[in-house]
Amino acid sequence: MKMSCLKGTTISFSCLKLAFPSYPSSFQNLPFRRTIKPLSAALQTSPATSPSTTKAEDQVARSHWKAAIDFKWIKDNKEAVAANIRNRNSDADLELVLQLYDRFFNLQKEVERVRGERNAVANKMKGKMEQSQRQRLIEEGKNLKEGLIALEEDLLKLNDKLQLEAQRIPNMTHPNVPIGGEDSSMTRKLVGSAPEFSFPVKDHLELGKELCLFDFDTAAEVSGSKFYYLKNDAVLLEMALVNWTLSEVMKRGFTPLTTPELVRSSVVEKCGFQPRGNNTQVYSIEDSDQCLIGTAEIPVGGLHMDSILAETLLPLKYVAFSHCFRTEAGAAGSATRGLYRVHQFSKVEMFIFCRPEESEHYHEELIKIEEDMFSSLGLHFKTLDMASEDLGAPAYRKFDVEAWMPGLERFGEISSASNCTDYQSRRLGIRYRPSEAPVASPKSSKGNLAPPLFVHTLNATACAVPRMIICLLENYQQEDGSILIPEPLRPFMGGRSVISRKL
């Protein structure tokens, strides 16, 4: 088991400085009307124990954050970015972003010019001079200062607007990704075959009812529709799935985690999810800046937020167990029966931080792990290279796994593996320092240290418990309504081989 203590070797730095374009460091000391608290203040505070400090932290975290978007690259690759926005069916306004960036760029130069003048005046004041001349310089300095304050405030506002628009630009797309809507997604692989039944097939709801495995009706009264209790052997099946998955993924060198399930909404945003708005999938906490996580991808992505990792630590591979909460706003239709689409579920999630040149390799590794695990459970499934319009904004490429669900009589998604390249790391501020500087730069004052680069992040479902329960119940049902337990899970269910009514 791999057990490196990471915190000791990471270097913390401010998020504000990470942002490109960057502010001069003196900026934050100016007397703005709007209170601008640098995020770094929150980040560098050690964890507070008194309630009052906690509150201050929360307020700071509510401030804007800036993504380190490479505007120069976007400008230089305008055609490709525009084509990508079209291919992803995104409504990002590239022209507006570039206009705002040009204005920002010019205003920034203007601010620097005025600041230079003011410094020149301040320097002149140091010498001896006549009273009238000093008075004139004071007057001039005052005017310059007021002008500078106004300009700097404009610059901040412009940057906010630029960020708002630019953060909507989706990640670029892998050249092999099929362009188009869901129908264009390409089957990469078909594994196993559908089980044949000599008796009428039941769906998981019917099977679960007979075996007393779920209670949706009471949960609807206690919590709301699409909530559920797991009962009896379903509880043991969930534990077995989680335990088996953790142990399988840990064997492959992943570090196990459990995570907070309440996170600041800024972290949700930095991972590329929208915690607010009418159609949000995210539950927010009243009178707080916190949200419930929809996936452990969010707290695991946040694990190395605002840090520079040593290259030798990469890749960092994690496997996290968490409960996930989703509003499922707007979800309706036939795909919502029983356990298929629910507000709360257990999930084991894989996450990798790696060097950019390795992310494609690890993407393949993740889908291979999924394939191995679902194969060993004897499922019939296909892996898909998802089409461009089906990718979330953070994904560069996404492989879905859809398994055969005989009761629902269709393939259903059971997992998803995404390469997010540097989309999340530019928002979360996660970089690494290459061990070897490419070329020793005499201009660099910091000796031979190579400039830090953004890591790539990847995430993949190892086991979404309710979907897996659907698969197991429907595929392993027997004529008498009992369920065979696949071999690999038996040691995690006390050696039992069957779920039946009478035990």
Using the rule CB under 8 A, is 5 a contact of its own copies? yes
φ, ψ for residue 11, nearest 5 deg: -115, 125
Among residues 88, 118, 264, 341, which one is catalytic? 341
Cis preceding linkage at 356, omega within 30: no
Least gap, CB of 295 to its own copies (angstroms):
14
Q: Would strands 316-325 and 255-258 be described as parallel, antiparallel, or unpaired?
A: parallel
CB of 28 or CB of 284, closer to its own copies? 284
Those residues whose C-beta lies under 8 Å from the C-beta of residue 394, and which sit 6 or more positions away, are 170, 171, 271, 272, 418, 420, 423, 424
Q: Is 415 annotated among the ligand-binding residues? A: yes
Using the rule CB under 8 A, is 440 a contact of its own copies? no
Binding mask 186-215 for its own copies (x = CB under 8 A): --------------------------x--x
CB of 159 or CB of 255, closer to its own copies? 255
Q: Which of 121, 219, 483, 485 binds its own copies (CB under 8 A)?
A: 219
What's the Cα-to-Cα distance from 292 to each of 45, 184, 228, 419, rounded to whole Å?
A: 23, 33, 18, 23
Q: Which of 47, 127, 200, 447 binds its own copies (CB under 8 A)?
A: 47
Using the rule CB under 8 A, is 57 a contact of its own copies? yes
Among residues 266, 402, 467, 474, which one is catalytic? 467
C-beta separation of 295 from 465 below 8 A: no
Residue 184 among the catalytic residues: no
φ, ψ for residue 325, nearest 5 deg: -130, 125
Using the rule CB under 8 A, is 430 a contact of its own copies? no
φ, ψ for residue 155, nearest 5 deg: -60, -45
Q: Which of 35, 49, 123, 132 binds its own copies (CB under 8 A)?
A: 49
Q: Which of 70, 153, 261, 311 binds its own copies (CB under 8 A)?
A: 261
Using the rule CB under 8 A, is 236 a contact of its own copies? yes
Using the rule CB under 8 A, is 51 a contact of its own copies? yes
Those residues whose C-beta lies under 8 Å from the C-beta of residue 172, and which sit 6 or more positions away, are 80, 81, 84, 396, 421
User: In terms of Cα–Cα distance, which of 423, 379, 380, 419 is closest to 399?
Assistant: 419
**Helix runs in 350-453, H state only:** 359-376, 423-428
Q: Binding to its own copies (CB under 8 A): which residues in 296-315?
A: 299, 302-306
Q: Mark the binding-site residues, compressed into ranges.
A: 295, 326-328, 342-345, 349, 413-416, 459
Q: Which residues are annotated as a binding site for L-serine?
A: 295, 326, 349, 459
